[in-house]
Amino acid sequence: DTEVTQTPKHLVMGMTNKKSLKCEQHMGHRAMYWYKQKAKKPPELMFVYSYEKLSINESVPSRFSPECPNSSLLNLHLHALQPEDSALYLCASSQRGTSGYEQYFGPGTRLTVT
């Protein structure tokens, strides 16, 4: 199984809502990533978990809160988002959280903040 799954596919939320994005992989990968991608732009790294520990936080606002319950699951909790946070949120995994490994991406969650 070389698939990374993400739910939901689409999410519309108000600025006062709390929601969560979910990501799952069953490839035995020990590193998982969250990226944000705005339209016609490249993906931008938000968070990296390596061996279930947060290893990189790219100065992301606290209204985004990542969680890694176990080595297969990655969540992104959303609270009090702004309209400019509307984007495609991509999850990825790689065999190790070190240099030299390709990343496997999920299909993304299209988030719209109203």
Partner 1 sequence: SQQGEEDPQALSIQEGENATMNCSYKTSINNLQWYRQNSGRGLVHLILIRSNEREKHSGRLRVTLDTSKKSSSLLITASRAADTASYFCATDWGSQGNLIFGKGTKLSVKP
From candidates 56, 60, 73, 80, binder to partner 1 by CB under 8 A: 56
From candidates 11, 21, 32, 48, binder to partner 1 by CB under 8 A: 48
Contact set for partner 1, span 95-114 (CB under 8 A) = 96-108, 110
How far CA 64 is from CA of 8, 27, 40, 96, 114, in Å, comes to: 16, 26, 22, 24, 16
Does 88 participate in binding partner 1 (rule CB under 8 A)?
A: yes
Nearest to 45 by CA among 114, 97, 100: 97
Does 68 participate in binding partner 1 (rule CB under 8 A)?
A: no
What span, in angstroms and rounded, lies between the C-alpha atoms of 78 and 16? Answer: 10
Specify the length of the chain in residues: 114
Residue closer to partner 1 by CB (options 81, 104) is: 104
Min CB(17)–partner 1 separation in Å: 23
